[in-house]
Structure 1
Amino acid sequence: MSGHGTPIPMTSRKCGPLKGVANVPGDKSISHRSLILGAMAVGETRITGLLEGEDVLDTAKAMRAFGAEVTDHGGGEWSVHGVGVGGFAEPDNVVDCGNSGTGVRLIMGAMATSPITVTFTGDASLNGRPMARVTDPIALFGAQSVGRAGGRLPMTIVGAQNPVPVRYTVPMPSAQVKSAVLLAGLNAPGETVVIETEATRDHTERMLAGFGADIRVEQTEEGRVITLKGQPELKPQTIAVPRDPSSAAFPVCAAIITEGSDVLVPNIGLNPTRAGLFTTLREMGADLTYENERFEGGEPVADLRARFSPDLKGIEVDPARAASMIDEYPVLSVVACFAKGQTVMRGVKELRVKESDRIDAMAKGLRAAGVTVEEGEDWWIVNGLGHGNVPGGATAMAQLDHRIAMSFMIMGMGTNAPMSVDDGNPIATSFPIFEPLMAELGANVERANR
């Protein structure tokens, strides 16, 4: 089973202006999907800019276990020789997806309509996360699953011998669930239909179309209706992965709260289903601009420039935006501490079942740092203190969650006293170059064991 190893306590201190160019890693969502769809195509898919964090590397290992030839050529360049839709081999061993909820849920969908049996596991955090949201819809195709109480890993999935197409309304906004159903639909005859009442990130739909699948998206009274014709022959692609907006969030937010800062984050994916944080920051008064806006590989991208913003104000974040920024609420709550007034975040119950209960983890850490936080099941409110008034001086529990750890490291760059986390190890799952990148900009983040 995966683990994060010996805990690495980390501390972040107030620093001088952050300056320079932040070349953040490739987009995690697109990296996962490029490997999985590359493995389901016939021929060689070439990928540049792949995120080489632990989550994505675990997906690459899984695709090898299913029979695809996955090669690392160095420098973020990879190739995948796929086995075709329905061509997955049965893995010899348990498939370990580490910390990645995206990886395990998408892979479960991709194999659910092949006549193979696969056992999945992960680290302590992943093994505590609910999988019924995927196993319930793939059961409609004919797949069976047996796991721990509460639908948790380790879990064995028996793929459908004779899959049938499905019409499924996603019960909660979840790109992972939508994508799992679409990937399962690839090897089912006829048309699989997925209905979203609230739009989520659409990388899977865009990429399926790029690989040659017959897929159409319509907006109807029911919601966003996605129709996929099953059993296509997917054509290999050349994919340039844009840089991850969720990773860009950290240097962007650091620049906004650190006096005198001016940071450029180039080639960031600005898919409208992912860019909610940047819209929200601008509403709060952040000095954030888009430069060189363009399209690459069907995805909108731009260079983001973030500057110190001393006059931030608290706002009520539009709940309809939640799905487009669900992973960014932890670091948004940090920025909210440096705003004047309340920042209200509603419709965010999904945060309770991420790598950790992110509302609980952030609320406890922020309170320890001298910030008043109110919370409910699907909402929380941060009472901002304004620039220069956030005490800090606390150690927060990362709870095996990379985004919690990084958020508190960003917070320490603006608080009056340093901020620490008990374990920075999980950061490697999504942002393996976080420490050197932030240091190059001028941040003061240290490991306790150095």
Structure 2
Amino acid sequence: MNKTIAKVKNGIHGTIVIPGDKSVSHRSLMISALCDGQTVHVKNFLRSADCLSTLEAIRALGVTVKENEDNSLDITGVGLQGLQEPQTIVDAGDSGTLLRLMMGLLAAQPFLTTFTGDAALHKRPMGRVIKPLEMMGAKIVGRKDNTLLPITILPNEKKNFHGITYEMPVASAQVKSAILLAALTAGVEVKIIEPVPSRNHTECMMRAFGINVETNGNEVVFHPAERLQGPKTIEVPGDISSAAFWLVAGSIIPNSSIVLKNVGVNPSRTGILDVLRDMGADIVETNRYESGGEAIADIHVKSAKLHGTAFGKDIMPRLIDEIPIIAVAALFAEGETKITGAEELRVKETDRLHAIAEEFNKLAPAITELEDGLIIKGGLPLKNSEAFSYDDHRIAMALAIAGAAGEGVEISHPECVNISYPEFYDTLSNVQI
């Protein structure tokens, strides 16, 4: 069934409580599970399809997780060596984060784990995660020369593992996190060198659990820990990748003023704020605080006249997931926007560069697809049209905001937003006057 999004007539207003951060929700489950008999209370856990897949995977490994009515969890850890062999194949659904981080978490375990996933995840490359894990001593087999699902992690022992210094060819928080989790469970020291710093949620949460992780520029050094002692409570911040849709909507829909509550403003994720401010957006942060090593703030955004900009690979790790909605901002900005260094988008849930060019051009013929990015001509009139989500949650939500700010849109396969933001369409209706 298609989803019809109508043009917003009188702006969007009010307060939006942003759902929990997907990246932090995944990590809160995995790292809390390794605490030594301690129960960690996780508030604002994101109950999206991806994160629920991780919850079930952690339970399959013998960890007790209590789900509470207020979207919180109580996770009772089993220690660094207390995970158990799953009784069946672990289904990662559509979650690349689950699969890649779990490969690290389980690389040094003395039991066998096999992963599968949905059709899209079966196409996503896993070789760049498996390579450093094998360098450390992991034994991993999979389809197409150990690069694609199904993937099996063979039983192993800590004595077969050793530390490495790994220079990453491409900045990737998921590859980095897999290495760090493997080092944690194997008890070895590792040094990771990135071309540019990527998201640091794993490092922040490890430090909150008492683990010594040093960061110096582009280098991350992990020192082994004998046991984990976590905080009693972790508040998962609102996901800035979800907030991004309202940051852009509030900027480009005339007569808008909205407050986004409890948004994660970890500097490794705030590239979207830098780019929008560079485009002329009216964005103010207030009420900053910290939980679980993560910076959190309220963000007030008002409609503003935007202008084009240009950015590339240096900032890309800080906003890679926000490119679809930044492209929408560029459609409504004055002048041209050029995005480069975004070739990573070709191996996300879909080829997002192609999806953006193909579907957004149905609304306005404004986008030229590059090998590693996009050129977007702003200010062209938009028309109402039907567009395909490619079953990609971020494409669907970006199309919805483009339609709301333009002349409406009919979205085919709209339900994919459940991957990260199940309440998205209801929220879009509730903030309209």
TM-score (norm 1): 0.92
CA distance in 2, matches of 1:230, 1:295: 25
Equivalent runs, 1:34-183 vs 2, <5 Å: 34-42=28-36, 43-149=38-144, 151-161=147-157, 162-183=160-181
Could you tell me which runs of 5 or more consecutive residues in structure 2 were left unpaired when the two chains were aligned.
none
Q: Which amino acid aligns with 2:195?
A: T
- Indicate yes or no: 2:231 matched with 1:240: no
Shift of 1:292: 2.2
- Give the match for residue 390 of structure 2: 399
- Give the match for residue 10 of structure 1: 3
- Give the match for residue 422 of structure 2: 432
- Indicate yes or no: 2:279 matched with 1:288: no
Which one has a larger percent strand, Structure 1 or Structure 2?
Answer: 1
CA distance in 2, matches of 1:159, 1:49: 35
CA distance in 1, matches of 2:56, 2:101: 14
Q: 2:211 aligns with which of 210, 213, 235?
A: 213
- Indicate yes or no: 2:15 matched with 1:21: yes
- Give the match for residue 327 of structure 1: 321
Match of 2:110, SS state, is coil
Q: 2:368 aligns with which of 374, 385, 392?
A: 374
Shift of 1:318: 4.5
Could you tell me which runs of 5 or more consecutive residues in structure 1 were left unpaired when the two chains were aligned.
1-7, 444-450
Q: Which amino acid aligns with 2:62?
A: G
CA distance in 2, matches of 1:319, 1:134: 21
Match of 2:210, SS state, is coil
Equivalent runs, 1:254-265 vs 2, <5 Å: 254-265=249-260
1:231–1:168 CA distance, 2 compared to 1 (3 A): same
Aligned-CA RMSD value: 1.5
**Deviation by residue 1:202-248 (Cα, 9 ceiling, x = unmatched):** 111111111111222223xxxx2222123520113221111110000
Q: Which amino acid aligns with 1:209?
A: R
1:408–1:72 CA distance, 2 compared to 1 (3 A): same
CA distance in 1, matches of 2:31, 2:136: 19
Q: 2:400 aligns with which of 384, 409, 425?
A: 409
Runs of 4+ with deviation above 6 angstroms: none
Match of 1:154, SS state, is strand
CA distance in 2, matches of 1:303, 1:200: 23
CA distance in 1, matches of 2:187, 2:423: 43
TM-score (norm 2): 0.95
1:214–1:294 CA distance, 2 compared to 1 (3 A): closer
Match of 2:193, SS state, is strand
**Deviation by residue 1:144-175 (Cα, 9 ceiling, x = unmatched):** 22222261112112143222222212221110
CA distance in 1, matches of 2:155, 2:181: 13
CA distance in 2, matches of 1:190, 1:157: 19
CA distance in 2, matches of 1:395, 1:258: 20
Shift of 1:86: 2.6
Shift of 1:107: 0.9
- Indicate yes or no: 2:409 matched with 1:419: yes
Q: Which amino acid aligns with 2:428?
A: M
CA distance in 2, matches of 1:120, 1:391: 43
- Indicate yes or no: 2:184 matched with 1:194: no
- What's the % identity of the aligned pairs? 37
Q: Please, which moves more after superposition, 364-373 or 353-362?
A: 364-373
